[in-house]
Chains A and B, each alone.
Chain A
Amino acid sequence: MDAFDSALGWQRLDRRMLLVHPVRDLVRFLPALVALLVFRRSSDTGGWWGLLGVAVPIALGLSRYLTTSYRITSGRIEVRHGLLNKRVLSAPLDRVRTVDLTASPIHRALGLVTLRVGTGQSGGKSEERLALDGLAAPAAASLRARLLHLTPFAEAETETAVGDRRVVLDLDLAWVRFAPLTSAGVVIAGAALGVVAQGIHTFEVTPSVDLSRLAHLGLALLVALGLAAVLVGICVLAVIGYLLTNFGFELSYSRSDRAWHLRRGLFTTRETSLDDARISGVSIGEPLGLRLAGGARLTAIVTGLDKKQQGSSVLVPPAPRGEVDRVAVEVLGTPGPVTTGLVGHGPRARRRRWTRAMVPAGIVVAAALLTSYAVSWTLVVTVPVVLAVAAFLAHDRWQGLGHALVDRHLVARSGSLDRRREALHTPSVIGWNFRATWFQRRAGLTDLVATTAGGRQHVRVLDLDQDAATALATTATPGLLEPFLD
């Protein structure tokens, strides 16, 4: 390495990373270390093993530092690492879609960040992604500027003044009220419950509950109390989760490198830069709970970022609908796709929504009626509830269905519990899938799916009239479909 390599432009990670790697590896080796300590106590021979157990992680950390280096050559970024399995990763700079700077608390204390480069590659093992763990913050910032500047789309604009950042969105702490309405809280609570249950199981701590005393309270009250406790717990966890990931959320646009910059996080800060030319659309998510409270969230459909990397394309965390719309208009550059009313899908689509919701509910109800010999109160209560929920879902899903083609954006909305309004720039549409089951064909309907390289990889327009579907596809991408129309 050294003189020869640095002449070729290879650069190392920051020296302070020497402190991070051993610590982290020590933590990773902790189970092995504990085992070693136990082993040493039981047999007196292995006094050196413990020392070795500490030395190995430190040596590993050292070797990782010594073997990782990166450089930017003409048009490519190259990263090489590995002691035994040497690996050189390289990517052309014009394929760089996003640059992600993440800093965990350890990193922050030392002034370091992890830089991740998102290219068009979807999936792949973590080792095969372009990531530089442990750059000094200023070095990372300048590297990011170089990576984004060198993309051909940005080159034309470089002469404009640097530092013309325009803040588009700042997190308002009052938006925390939307946190409990998302499903995130339930997920966190589930994970927490799992951990707690596991803990109780492994440590054999049986919570001592005086059952006879509780029985006096009555079952109904107990259930209500339990539910309330769970609900409050979920709310608190959701709020904490929201604050942890989104604290200090700031979205800004800088004209000098034509990119959107996101910054967020309470302990682990995360900065993402999205190349404006790679944003092919936005998706406004309005799950039922959020929708009832007048909120929504916004994610970008970025070419080359797939579902697994969704976290780096969040543009607005759960926030009031007005804010979300404003940001969506700014990102797309035109108000049309966000504000125009959508074209509904006709009575046949509505009938399909209703049958799809009512038939399973009806089957459930019929089965319940058939299997129960006597009329019980629970049955009398649950049957109408099930039917009502199904009816509500059908109606809501039907209300949500819609599509439009405005300002060269394909807009589609569907869903009830998890409603989405997706706007996709038509040049980013790769191809079309028409899909119709036998039932749909009988009703003269079809699902139109526009495939794209970003986000969820497709935008689906549900239950469209067959003629309307072909018309929509031909106007969106002229010249593609015509040769195949029968």
Chain B
Amino acid sequence: MWMCTDLLRSVPPMALLLLATGPWHWFDLPTWCLVAVGVLFVAYGLLVPLWRYQVHRWEVTDTAVYTQTGWWARERRIAPMSRVQTVDHREGAIARLFGLATVRVTTASSAGALTIEGLDQQRALAIVEDLTRMADSVPGDAT
């Protein structure tokens, strides 16, 4: 899925570049430059998702949720179950194509949302249910 989204993401700038040099004549670049940029974009679309996949981890225990995301900047986030405010289940168009879904756990702080991308849909639904039940069972107003 990531390969797909990353490749798709690199299409518009590449297209823009091609259009700018080709039909629009904004500026001129030698062909090898264009090829190099294209190779870079393709590499970005193929390698970065692999890297991302290597990094991504997630874990849910009775007391907390933990995620590790990113590729260049690696980020690990931990939120205790007692502070979980909402649990979202999301399916983008491309994700649905692959039968995947995203679970997003938010806390009272806007800096503390945890997202688990690329989960199997059934599994994602199960996690959402578990999390909601566990978060509900903890008393307090979660701030």
Contact = CB atoms under 8 A, between A and B. Distances in A.
Given A120-B108, A451-B111, A431 B59 contact: no
Interface of chain A, main secondary structure: mixed
Given A479-B63, A480-B64, A483-B64, A433 B77 contact: yes
Interface in A151-189: none
B107 interface: yes
A120 B143 contact: yes
Nearest to B73: A437
A435 B80 contact: no
Which residue, of A436, A449, A451, A479, has the highest number of chain B Cβ atoms within 10 A?
A: A451
A431 B141 contact: no
Contacts of A433: 75-78, 111-112
B11 interface: no
A453 B73 contact: no
Given A120-B143, A430-B83, A452 B72 contact: no
Contacts of A303: 108, 143
Nearest to A456: B111
Contact of A431 (B61, B72, B79): B79
B25 interface: no
A253 B80 CA distance: 33
A122 interface: yes
B133 interface: no
Contacts of B73: 435-438
A433 B73 CA distance: 12
B137 interface: no
B31 interface: no
Given A479-B63, A480-B64, A431 B109 contact: yes
Contacts of B74: 435-437, 441
A235 B92 CA distance: 52
A15 to B, nearest CB: 37
A48 interface: no
B64 A122 contact: no
B78 A431 contact: yes
A120 B79 contact: no
A304 interface: yes
A484 B107 contact: no
B41 interface: no
Interface of B: 59, 61, 63-64, 66, 70, 72-80, 83, 107-112, 141, 143
Given A449-B111, A457-B109, A483-B64, 4 more contacts: A95-B141, A431-B80, A437-B73, A481-B78
